[in-house]
Structure formats: C-alpha cells, structure tokens
Amino acid sequence: MIRRLRLPVSILATAVLVACGGGGSSAPKSPATESALKTAVAAFGDAILQGDSGKAYGYFTKECRSDVSKGEFAFMVELATSMLEGFADTSISDMRTGEVELQNFKAESAEARSTVIDGNGDTFSSLDESGWSAWEYQDGGWRTSDCEEFGGGSGDLDMGASSDYDPFAYPECSLLVEGQPVPEEFGTGSEIDLSCDEGTDTYFGFTMTCFTSDREYASSDIGFAFIDEGIYYSGDVRGCAPPCSDLVDGQPVPESFNDDSASGFNLNCELPTGEENYSFEWDCFDSDRMYVQNNDGYAFVDDRIYVAGPFGYC
C-alpha cells in the first residue's frame, strides 16, 4: 500500500496525546497497582517524546501489536513529534510526562491521561476530558489497548513479498550505496523498503507518494530512493516538490503546486539548499476562510494569491 504523506493535524495531535496517556519491544513487568500504572504511563509518554518508538511499542497489548506494525507506529511517532516540535519553545526530546491521572481503576484495567512538561518546566499539554486512554494489565505488566489512532494495521506497508516475509529481518544499512541501485534485499516487486539495521540501531523505511506529484519513493532516516528509478540517495528526499522560487509574491500559486486534495494546492517546495519547505492547510479562527501556509508565506484557498511573509489577517 502506498502511503500518501498528508495527514491532518488532528491525527498527529491525537497520536501524541494517546502516547502520553498510555506504550518498547517489551514493557517491564509490574504489579497490578495504581502506582505501577502511573509509572508505565509516564515511561510510555517519555519514550514517545524521546523518539524511542521501539521502547514505546512494547507498551501495546498483544492485540494492538497484531493490528499496528512496529514500522507503522514508528512512522506516526516520528511524524507527530516532528510536527509538534514546531509549536514548542524547546525540543520535543527535552519534554517529559508530567502529572498522570487515573479513572475506573481495576486490577485488570483502567483509563489514564497525563500532562506534558516542556524543557522549561512549563505545561505544554494539559489534562482534558478527551485525553483518556485505555490500559490493561496483560502478561505481567500494564499495556495500552488504545491504538486505533495509529492505523489499526490499515497503513502497513505492502511489500508484495511472500507470506513468510519477516518485517523485522532487516538487511545491513551498509548495503545501501549512494548513487547505486537499491539491493533486492530491500524489497520485492515494484516497491522498496529502506528499513535496515546498523549496529544496534534500526532505521525504518516507508513507501510514500510525493505531495505535489504521483511520484512514489521509499524513505528512511538515512536516505531515499524513487520507486521508478530505484537508485539510493543519502539525505532527505529531493524531487518531490517544485522550487520555492516558483512562488512569487502577489502572483497566483503555480499549477505545479496542485494536488488531489479538496483545496487543490499546497505550498510544499524545495529550498535552494535542497531542503523541503512543508506547508499545512488551516481554517481561520474567526471565519470559514481557509488558507495554506509554509514558513515563507501563505495563500488563501479562495483566491490562491501567494503572499510572502508571516500570515496576515483571517
């Protein structure tokens, strides 16, 4: 299944809220007490904030691990924390789980929610009624059964491989050579997965579609390869978006920024440095007017005229 990397802000926020209310390769054993549950909730939330999706994944129940792949979970964690970092005064990795609250506690199940404290010691995410997540006491420890927001298995990669394909038997990262074809070990059929092992670290690969075109590519923390050419490149994805110089202040948004979303365009573009400037679609607070914005400017959906500089009046 090709995943289009275009998720609404609400999904990203939910991913982190569930994480901080509820998650590693194997959660530690603990007694069926309120104190132990609060410790598990905090450990899961801290693992999410520190980007340790492997540790957090172990806090899922076996049913959740069956429904949500480790790679899918890692993808959501990375995407959610990367986006939320833009709203914080400090790095997400400097944040920690704060106050933990429980309700409906029983020896075998309970609900939990928590705050998040930023690197300055201030409350970044406060308690609210929608933040409760379900936990179960399973296999000698507390684990969260709240995993629907992470995809329920519907977003797992389809590698087109045989039924005995082992998603955790990753090749060595050293097999990927800059400018060379991706080895067969990284996929079958028309798709590529850049998951690989490097010492004790595992880099998860994902197959995605460019925002501004239908070009498909495989990507991980260490590099990428477009499906149509199969050549590995180190670093961030290139060639998915038009140059930012195409956006001219006071002029219509070029057709090259079109996509198949309801709004019809976005402002993702590549900077001269080769980095990509991502855009997001928002609704005005005091009207139904919608706009698309990136770090350099914005355009209202109803007039599509690009305006350089900080977002103006809604």
- Joined together, the tokens standing for residue 10 give 């609400």
Strands 269-270 and 232-234: unpaired
- Joined together, the tokens standing for residue 40 give 């598990």
Give the mean model confidence (pLDDT) for residues 162-188: 77
Number of other residues whose CB lies within 10 A of the CB of residue 113:
24
Mean pLDDT of the chain: 77
pLDDT at residue 248 in the model: 96
Burial of 224 (0-12, 13-18, 19+ CB in 10 A): buried
Give the number of residues written for the chain. 314
Among the listed ranges 25-29, 102-106, 135-139, 189-193, which one has the minimum average pLDDT value?
Answer: 25-29
Task: Give the whole-number percent of the chain exceeding pLDDT 90.
Answer: 23
pLDDT in tens, 8-42: 333 334 444 444 433 334 677 889 999 999 999 99
Tokens 């549950």 identify what position? 37
CA distance 270 to 79: 19
Confidence label for 109 from pLDDT (cuts 50, 70 and 90):
very high
Among the listed ranges 120-134, 159-173, 179-193, which one has the minimum average pLDDT value?
Answer: 159-173
Q: Does 211 have pLDDT greater than 70?
A: no
CA distance 73 to 188: 22
pLDDT in tens, 77-100: 776 766 665 555 567 777 888 889
Among the listed ranges 173-177, 227-231, 249-253, which one has the minimum average pLDDT value?
Answer: 227-231
DSSP E strand boundaries for the chain: 3-4, 96-103, 109-117, 123-125, 133-138, 141-144, 196-198, 201-203, 206-209, 216-220, 223-226, 232-234, 269-270, 276-277, 280-283, 290-293, 297-300, 307-308
Q: Does 154 have pLDDT greater than 60?
A: no
Helix (H, G, I), strand (E, B) or coil at 37: helix
Give the torsion through C-alpha atoms of 261, 266, 2, 84, to 10 deg: -110
pLDDT at residue 136 in the model: 93
Q: Does 70 have pLDDT greater than 90?
A: no
Question: Percent helix, strand, coil in the chain (nearest 5)?
Answer: 25, 25, 50
Domain 3-150 has CATH 3.40.50.150: no
- Contact indicator for 159, 186 with CB cutoff of 8 Å: no
Confidence label for 206 from pLDDT (cuts 50, 70 and 90):
confident
Closest of 31, 198, 13, 167 to residue 88, by C-alpha: 13
Task: Please give the C-alpha separations between residue 311 and each of 102, 247, 282, 294, 299, in angstroms, as whole numbers.
Answer: 40, 15, 11, 9, 9
Among the listed ranges 13-27, 44-58, 131-145, 229-243, which one has the minimum average pLDDT value?
Answer: 13-27
- Contact indicator for 245, 303 with CB cutoff of 8 Å: no
CA distance 177 to 101: 49
pLDDT at residue 310 in the model: 86
Angle between helices 70-84 and 34-49 (to 10 degrees): 70
pLDDT at residue 17 in the model: 44
The more confidently predicted of residues 75 and 34 is: 34
DSSP 153: T
pLDDT at residue 38 in the model: 92
Terminal-residue alpha carbon distance, the chain: 38
pLDDT in tens, 232-274: 999 878 778 889 999 999 999 998 887 655 567 888 888 888 7
What residue spans in the chain does CATH classification 3.10.450.50 cover? 3-150
- Joined together, the tokens standing for residue 31 give 């007694």
Q: Does 2 have pLDDT greater than 60?
A: no
